[in-house]
Amino acid sequence: MKPALSVGIAGLGTVGAGVVRLLRDNATPIAARAGRSIEVVAVSARDRKRDRGVALEGVRWHDDPVALVADAAVDVVVELIGGAEGAAYDVVMAALAAGKPVVTANKALIATRGSAIAAFPNASLRFEAAVAGGIPVIKTLREGLAADRIASVSGIFNGTCNYILSRMRAEKLDFATVLADAQARGYAEADPSFDIDGVDTAHKLAILAAIAFGRQVDFASVHVEGIRGVNALDIAFAEELGYRIKLLGIARATAAGIETRVHPAMVPLTSPLAQVDGVNNAVVIQGDPVGQIVLQGRGAGAGPTASAVVADLIDLARNRAAPLLGVETGSLQACASVPMAVHQGAYFLRLMVADQPGVIADVTAVLRDHSISLESMLQHGRSPGDAVAVVLVTHVTHEAAMAAALARLAALAAVREPPALIRIETA
């Protein structure tokens, strides 16, 4: 057996401690699959005294994570500090500059620091854990489906949002109530904006789109909407119409170019994404000639993330190499994302309108003016003088037309609240 692969871990939070634990608990099968043992020889974290539930005797401690990179005993650097800047960025750059392989779970860094990383075209940088936790979706796209032309990659990539939307539906609660409870339970951060405003999903989508379509990571072009605007009323209407509301990340090759977008979407109950509840993640890949592939699993947490980090270490131990984004830099395509305005799709539109004669005529006239045709319309109950909900489901139309129509609808005197619009994803 070859000599051990010596690992230095920067960052000993939940995931870092989970990696240390996994490398010990599963040492025997890991060594068999890696063809050599994998050992943690050095770590770096801010607080030496904190009890992390793992024994660190005999492991060198570096207060400065960059010093860990320079440690001659360290073959591979595992970066689990997180964030696109600061110590995480410094550690990764130092390791790449030193020619040491890096394994990271840092989606923000991979998604937004592409140009800095590109300065090291021969870098060995692996990030399976950055997307969808324990689901090996990076490997699946880069290797398992390497023969395919990918038409689309879409999915549920943020467990916090999916947990919130699942509970809103199951318990008929509003967003603020579930968010507060999720924060109390530790399922959502004190500052939840990174998750609920869709940024985390967009980071992951930008990474997947790069690998799926063989291009540079283009986070800036991702259209991002979060779930703050999703309300219990629309979840109930979705149910009635045979849909579930999910925060999706969608990367799709269209005639106009590649769309990359993150937003709440209505998916039919027959979609493999409709049934994915709680903190689970799921990815749907459409490839030619493979057809549809669906991957599901836990998208976060120490166990699934450590599973992905150590799988990357095993690939390194076996010398199973792959270019950063699946192809050499020179083979990357120059295909930018297209703006959201050129998107075409079907829409769910809810208006709170005054319950008075002529309102529906005004609303449908606006849609007609923008060549938007309706698949169905729904109105429940009556309350003369008050606002009632009118739901319109459109056939496939242009986002730009929809946006223009929406502005006019919002300006109608009979429309009492800003209209709610949720895109419908059937594919």
Tokens 């008929």 sit on residue: 172
6 lines the binding site for a second copy (CB under 8 A)? no
Q: How far is the CB of 383 from a second copy (least distance, A)?
A: 39
Span from 99-107, 138-146, 172-180, 186-194 in contact with a second copy (CB under 8 A): 138-146
Question: Within 10 Å of residue 256's Cβ, how many Cβ atoms?
Answer: 12
Name every residue whose Cβ is closer than 8 Å to that of residue 4 and which is 6 or more positions away in sequence. 36, 37, 38, 39
CA dihedral 30, 33, 39, 40 (to 10 degrees): -70
Rounded to whole angstroms, how far apart are CA atoms 270 and 22? 37
Q: Which of 100, 107, 139, 204 is catalytic?
A: 204
Q: How far is the CB of 103 from a second copy (least distance, A)?
A: 12
Q: Which is nearer to a second copy, 293 or 340 (CB)?
A: 293
In this structure, what token pair is assigned to residue 233?
A: 């009323």
Contact 124, 77 (CB under 8 A): no
Rounded to whole angstroms, how far apart are CA atoms 209 and 138? 10
287 lines the binding site for a second copy (CB under 8 A)? yes
170 lines the binding site for a second copy (CB under 8 A)? no
Span from 26-34, 80-88, 235-243, 353-361 in contact with a second copy (CB under 8 A): 26-34
307 lines the binding site for a second copy (CB under 8 A)? yes
Q: Which is nearer to a second copy, 143 or 375 (CB)?
A: 143
Rounded to whole angstroms, how far apart are CA atoms 129 and 290? 24
Contact flags string 234-273 toward a second copy, x per CB under 8 A:
--------------------------------------x-
Rounded to whole angstroms, how far apart are CA atoms 147 and 163? 35
Q: How far is the CB of 65 from a second copy (least distance, A)?
A: 23
Separation in Å, CA 84 to CA 7, 13, 105, 307: 22, 17, 11, 22
Q: Which is nearer to a second copy, 46 or 320 (CB)?
A: 320
Q: Which is nearer to a second copy, 143 or 197 (CB)?
A: 143
Restricting to residues 327-356, name those near a second copy by CB under 8 A.
327-328, 331
Give the sign of the dihedral formed by CA 95, CA 101, CA 105, CA 107. Answer: positive
Q: How far is the CB of 330 from a second copy (least distance, A)?
A: 9
- The residue from 236, 241, 302, 404 that contacts a second copy (CB under 8 A) is 302
Q: Which is nearer to a second copy, 15 or 108 (CB)?
A: 15
Separation in Å, CA 16 to CA 4, 22, 42, 144, 392: 20, 10, 12, 28, 48
Give ∠ CA 148-153-154 in degrees, rounded to 5.
160
303 lines the binding site for a second copy (CB under 8 A)? yes
408 lines the binding site for a second copy (CB under 8 A)? no
362 lines the binding site for a second copy (CB under 8 A)? no
Using a CB cutoff of 8 Å and minimum separation of 24, what contacts does 399-402 make?
A: 399/340, 399/341, 399/342, 399/343, 399/344, 399/345, 400/341, 400/342, 401/370, 401/371, 401/372, 402/347, 402/370, 402/372
Give ∠ CA 160-166-169 in degrees, rounded to 5.
140
- The residue from 130, 227, 314, 402 that contacts a second copy (CB under 8 A) is 314
Q: Which is nearer to a second copy, 128 or 218 (CB)?
A: 128
Which parts of 146-251 fold into alpha helices (H)?
159-171, 175-185, 193-196, 199-213, 232-241
Q: How far is the CB of 325 from a second copy (least distance, A)?
A: 10
Q: How far is the CB of 54 from a second copy (least distance, A)?
A: 13
Restricting to residues 212-241, name those near a second copy by CB under 8 A.
214
Question: Within 10 Å of residue 328's Cβ, how many Cβ atoms?
Answer: 12
Residue 172 annotated as catalytic: no
Contact 172, 236 (CB under 8 A): yes
Q: Which is nearer to a second copy, 149 or 370 (CB)?
A: 149
As annotated, the active-site residues are 204
Task: Name the residues that contact a second copy, by CB under 8 A.
Answer: 18, 22, 26, 29-30, 32-35, 128, 134-136, 139-140, 142-149, 214, 272, 275, 287-298, 302-304, 306-307, 309-311, 313-315, 318-323, 326-328, 331
